Amino acid sequence: MSKVKTLEEIKKMMGEKCFETNTCFGVNRYGKYRPNITFLIPKRFETDPLEYRSDSVIQSIFILRIIDFDGSASVLFGDYWISRNNNSCFRPKSIRTATHMLICVSWGGAFNDSRGYRSEKNIGEIYFRRASSNGGGTGYDYWVFPIGFRRIVQLEEVDGNSKSEINLAQEAQKIRDKIIDYDREQKQRAKAKAKAEAEAKAKAIADSRKSKPNFLDRLNKINVRREAHGLDKFEFGEIYFCAGEHKCFYTEVNVSYWEKRVRKWDEERAERLRQKNIQEKFRPKYKAYISRLNKLGCEIRFRTEEVYINEMRMSFAYSDNGLEKFLREIKRLEEKKLEEKIQVEEKVRYDKACQRAEKLGLPKDIRIWYRDSGSTNQGKGWVIGANGQDRAPSHIYTSRRGLKQFSRYTQGDLIWEQIFPGEVVLKWSKEFSAAPHVFEVIHKPEEGLTEAQRERISEIERRLDERWKGARGFASKKKSPPVGQGWDL
């Protein structure tokens, strides 16, 4: 029999809102998510008297007899009444003597779309409280019904004026009998299970004691390997062999398990030794390139199974293939660094050339329409140096993407930020196939054209003539006019 609890013990279990009377303890369960009921519990108890039941028999008997609560329901049996101070009180009791049931329905919360009972109340409950969050997304519904309560829906269209009366005492007794039978069956099952487990354990002990001599040779070999790995050896008892917290019966399953564990340890040790030998072979080969990596601003890290380069964000195996891949990446990174250096130097030279050309008063911000596909709204521009070579535009401006690097597959305004000494700037356009070619000289060097420039201009004029030779207008069917004298330079 359990001892009498003290008020201090009850407060530790139930919270500070507790008081003591001559025969019981009072527990005030008031608050945002509480039922706002005073529970009266005995001074002696073994299990928590305020623990709700939610097992299968509860779900089958009570929940379906009343309403769809739309949530997870659990039940506490006891007696409910209103005190002289108009407070709700509940004394938990056994199902054998209880007269009421307090139902707690948990609903809502994260990833849960249940929202409790959302219809009108007054379905026959003695007490109801909805305790929810400020936003109404989670909470609890508390209901008190007499044991044996059953909700009957009366539809005049279907049932007419007839009414059904429920014998509450008979219904309550049915519920009590079913729960008592269920609890008795559960106790019998638990008792049978405990008995079977005890018998199985006794048999296992007897079999282990009998089988011990058959496994000692294998266990001694296991102990040799355990000791080699720096582990405690098994101690052989009458029933168990054990080491530390490991306590095992003398069975084929247990001995085979430890044999597999030992083999695995041996394999892991052999693999670690193999990895160590491979590392010792390849680490010097990787270290030979540390100076090159330092020049590239990279740091090498030697890990257990691989070499890792932070800046590359890549790992390389301790193998010939890994080393080859490592060398390819170093070469690629060196080429990239060299290209970046050349680009920086070219940018410096370009900026200086722009400054000199600007001082000479040469044109800048030249924009020429470019479209090289289709047969309408054609246009292109060329900036040709004294050596007869074309200089690509700095950028191309498109209405959709703004400034971007020039590509022959786009259309827009070709932009040359600055024209340099000795360069000639040419523009060509053609509205449609039957329209005449329009040639414009945007800028011509004062010193005149070089022979190389003249040859390049003649080549452009020839290619334009070849491209449009035989072309006809889509609607007019007229032939494209010839290039003629072109820029006449």
151-165 per-position pLDDT tens digit: 776 666 666 666 667
Spatial separation of the C-alpha atoms in residues 466 and 42, rounded to whole Å = 109
Here the contacts of 309-318 (C-beta below 8 Å, separation 24 or greater) are 316/286, 318/275, 318/278, 318/279, 318/281, 318/282, 318/283
Spatial separation of the C-alpha atoms in residues 265 and 415, rounded to whole Å = 70
Which residue, chain included where needed, has tokens 């001995």? 255
pLDDT score for 40: 96
Q: 61 falls in which pLDDT band (50, 70, 90)?
A: confident
Q: Is residue 321 exposed (0-12), middle (13-18) or buried (19+ Cβ within 10 Å)?
A: exposed
Query: Are the C-beta atoms of residues 376 and 411 closer than 8 Å to each other?
Result: no
Reply yes or no on whether the pLDDT at 69 is more than 80.
no
Reply yes or no on whether the pLDDT at 329 is more than 60.
yes
Say what percent of the chain tops pLDDT 70. 92
Range from 58-67, 97-106, 141-150, 290-299 carrying the lowest mean pLDDT: 58-67
461-476 per-position pLDDT tens digit: 999 998 888 888 877 8
C-beta atoms surrounding 338 within 10 Å: 10
Reply yes or no on whether the pLDDT at 10 is more than 70.
yes
Strands 37-42 and 88-92: parallel
Looking at every residue in the chain, the average pLDDT score rounds to: 88
398-403: average pLDDT: 66
Which residue, chain included where needed, has tokens 């290209």? 339
Phi, psi of 16 (to 5 degrees): -75, -20
Here the contacts of 386-389 (C-beta below 8 Å, separation 24 or greater) are 386/422, 386/423, 386/445, 386/450, 386/452, 386/453, 387/450, 387/452, 388/450, 388/452, 388/453, 388/455, 388/456, 389/456
Q: 50 falls in which pLDDT band (50, 70, 90)?
A: very high
pLDDT score for 64: 57
Residue boundaries of the structural domains of the chain: 7-154, 288-302+311-359, 363-468
pLDDT score for 460: 92
Query: Are the C-beta atoms of residues 172 and 150 closer than 8 Å to each other?
Result: no
Q: 65 falls in which pLDDT band (50, 70, 90)?
A: low
pLDDT score for 410: 67
196-223: average pLDDT: 94
Range from 38-47, 278-287, 308-317, 458-467 carrying the lowest mean pLDDT: 308-317
Say what percent of the chain tops pLDDT 90. 56
Reply yes or no on whether the pLDDT at 128 is more than 60.
yes
pLDDT score for 164: 67
For residue 17, what are the CA distances in angstroms to 10, 52, 83, 86, 141? 10, 20, 18, 18, 22
C-beta atoms surrounding 462 within 10 Å: 12
Of residues 489 and 35, the one with the higher pLDDT is 35
412-424: average pLDDT: 91
Helix 168-228 with 252-287: angle, nearest 10 deg: 60
Query: Are the C-beta atoms of residues 471 and 375 closer than 8 Å to each other?
Result: yes
> For the whole prediction, is pTM greater than 0.85?
no
Q: 313 falls in which pLDDT band (50, 70, 90)?
A: confident
Spatial separation of the C-alpha atoms in residues 343 and 364, rounded to whole Å = 22
pLDDT score for 207: 94
CB proximity list for 361: less than 8 A, separation 6 or greater = none
89-122 per-position pLDDT tens digit: 999 999 999 999 999 999 988 777 777 776 666 7
Residue 418 in tokens: 């600055």
Query: Are the C-beta atoms of residues 366 and 425 closer than 8 Å to each other?
Result: yes
Reply yes or no on whether the pLDDT at 1 is more than 90.
no
If phi over 0 gives left and psi between -120 and 50 gives alpha, with beta otherwise, what is residue 107? beta
Of residues 338 and 135, the one with the higher pLDDT is 338
Spatial separation of the C-alpha atoms in residues 375 and 461, rounded to whole Å = 18
298-309: average pLDDT: 88
For the chain, the residue count is 489
Q: 348 falls in which pLDDT band (50, 70, 90)?
A: very high
415-435: average pLDDT: 92
pLDDT score for 252: 94
